[in-house]
Amino acid sequence: VPEIGCLSIIVLGASGDLAKKKTFPALFHLYCQGFLPPIEVHIFGYARTKISDDELRNRIRGYLVSERSASPSKDVSKFLQLIKYVSGSYDAAEGFQMLDKEISKHETSKNSLEGSSRRLFYLALPPSVYPSVCRMIRRYCMNKSNLSGWTRIVVEKPFGRDLGSAEELSSQIGELFDEPQIYRIDHYLGKELVQNLLVLRFANRFFLPLWNRDNIDNVQIVFREDFGTEGRGGYFDEYGIIRDIIQNHLLQVLCLVAMEKPVSLKPERIRDEKVKVLQSVLPIKDEEVVLGQYEGYRDDPTVPDHSNTPTFATVILRIHNERWEGVPFILKAGKALNSRKAEIRVQFKDVPGDIFKCKKQGRNEFVIRLQPSEAMYMKLMVKQPGLEMSTVQSELDLSYRQRYQGVTIPEAYERLILDTIRGDQQHFVRRDELKAAWEIFTPLLHRIDNGEMKPIPYQAGSRGPAEADELLEKAGYVQTHGY
Ligand code: BG6
């Protein structure tokens, strides 16, 4: 249990989807594991809807218990009792003054540590209200001064629509809070196998000499979902797959795959290296992009009839540095495809002077499956067992479920919220990182927004447009079989 003193966690947008499905369940799991001791921690929900504490609790209750945490109902009830609700608007003083009063009441209660005040504001809200909400927090709800106290804010993506709007948002928030107080969440950075990348790359002699353009032919970072935008069409249509998945989740993964070794594990040193990767990405070429939109997407009544928004994209990024020159990083993401999967595929070059003539059977490939069923496996050639001297492709397989039986892998949000409480910004996106990420995609996004590039229709439940597979092949990817 971390030393947390008196902590108030305020979830703004408490009655919304994100809060119900992610934020409160993550807090509940932290509570069950003893990370949120009830004497020191209070949780507040804030939103516009006028409901009572109990009504909010009832709305959340059903989302708390998942298959991974069959917590007894008494835990649920005890946790829910920690939550108080305050209603108010996102741009008027009154609600925030009331919120401050409620928080202060608990801070000055006999249980708090010398009135120490630590306030974590989680903005489970659309970005359009970030500036006004931050202004209100700054004006009315900051921690009541005390040396060990703090105020932190957590913001969700989408953080802007392009470079200009993101920078404007960053400046507005930056005038109110210092960078160490701002936690820009990208939940992919909380996934177990994403967090494992640093260890994998820099604690293993195996990989150190191989991880470069001399040995690696291409890298794929893939996100697939086997469902469409059901119920979220309106939101999704404004953003599209590049803003929803590629510019943030996949690009963050790319940084960890491609970055140089940081001089230490200090969050700032790690983020320095990620920024360098982003700044080394060359402008995207139109011919290295394939966009798609699944058939039926526009049937959603909240999606405009002539929407040009891609629900699928394959984009090749090229990193202009000594390690990666010439190696395509293929980022691919799609909704309504034939499977749900997120993985990194590092494909090695062919063996020079191949005496076995086994090239056609496939290449060495190292695969990191982020989800579902976390795993890492290496595809390699072995002798086909038996009397003949023939080769076959096989796998060295580390499946987490088998290897770490009984170990519960934490949800990304759970881990990241704990980091915000502990003040560790390693797994959060720094302002310059965000800017560099938008710089990469903004020209392409503007071309799509202006209708200069159009998505190719694909059948829902398919692999996406065939043109994407052709692009992959052109980039050098060799389809391997099995597994
Ligand atoms: C969110 C996107 O950030 O990530 C969603 O907005 C997407 O569109 C989701 O479905 C995927 O997250 P995960 O953790 O299920 O891969």
Q: For residue 249, which atom of ligand 1 is closest to its CA?
A: 3
- Which residue's CA is the closest to the ligand 1 atom numbered 10? 225
- CA–centroid distance for 65 within its chain: 22
* pLDDT value of residue 241: 98
C-alpha Rg value of the chain to the nearest Å: 24
- CA–centroid distance for 81 within its chain: 30
Task: Return d(Cα 427, Cα 422) in angstroms, integer.
Answer: 12
Task: Return d(Cα 356, Cα 370) in angstroms, integer.
Answer: 33
Q: For residue 229, which atom of ligand 1 is closest to its CA?
A: 8
* pLDDT value of residue 249: 98
Mutate to test the pocket of ligand 1, among 221, 241, 245 (most ligand atoms within 8 A of CB): 245
Task: Return d(Cα 464, Cα 291) in angstroms, integer.
Answer: 9
Determine the distance separating the centroid of ligand 1 and the alpha carbon of 312, expressed in angstroms: 14
- Which residue's CA is the closest to the ligand 1 atom numbered 13? 188
Strand partners, 462: 337
Mutate to test the pocket of ligand 1, among 17, 23, 187, 247 (most ligand atoms within 8 A of CB): 187
Residue-wise pLDDT tens digits, 97-141:
999 999 998 887 645 555 578 999 999 999 999 999 999 999 999
CA nearest neighbour of 90 among 40, 39, 55, 124:
124
Determine the distance separating the centroid of ligand 1 and the alpha carbon of 232, expressed in angstroms: 12
- CA–centroid distance for 170 within its chain: 19
**Ligand 1 surroundings by CB, under 6 angstroms:** 187, 225, 244, 342
Instruction: Name the stretches of the chain with pLDDT < 50.
Output: 1-2, 110
Active-site residue list: 249
* pLDDT value of residue 231: 81
Question: Rounded to 5 degrees, what are φ and ψ at 145?
Answer: -50, 135
Residue 352: asked if its preceding bond is cis (omega within 30°), the reply is: no
Determine the distance separating the centroid of ligand 1 and the alpha carbon of 124, expressed in angstroms: 15
Task: Return d(Cα 271, Cα 178) in angstroms, integer.
Answer: 17
Task: Return d(Cα 92, Cα 94) in angstroms, integer.
Answer: 6
What tokens were used for 35? 């990370």
Residue-wise pLDDT tens digits, 431-482:
999 999 999 999 999 999 999 999 999 999 999 999 999 999 999 999 876 5
What tokens were used for 250? 């996949």
pTM here is: 0.95
* pLDDT value of residue 70: 60
Burial 192-222 (b: 16+ CB within 10 A, else e): bbbbbbbebbeeeeeeeeebeeeebbbbbbb
Q: For residue 232, which atom of ligand 1 is closest to its CA?
A: 8
DSSP-derived 3-state class of residue 13: coil
* pLDDT value of residue 2: 46
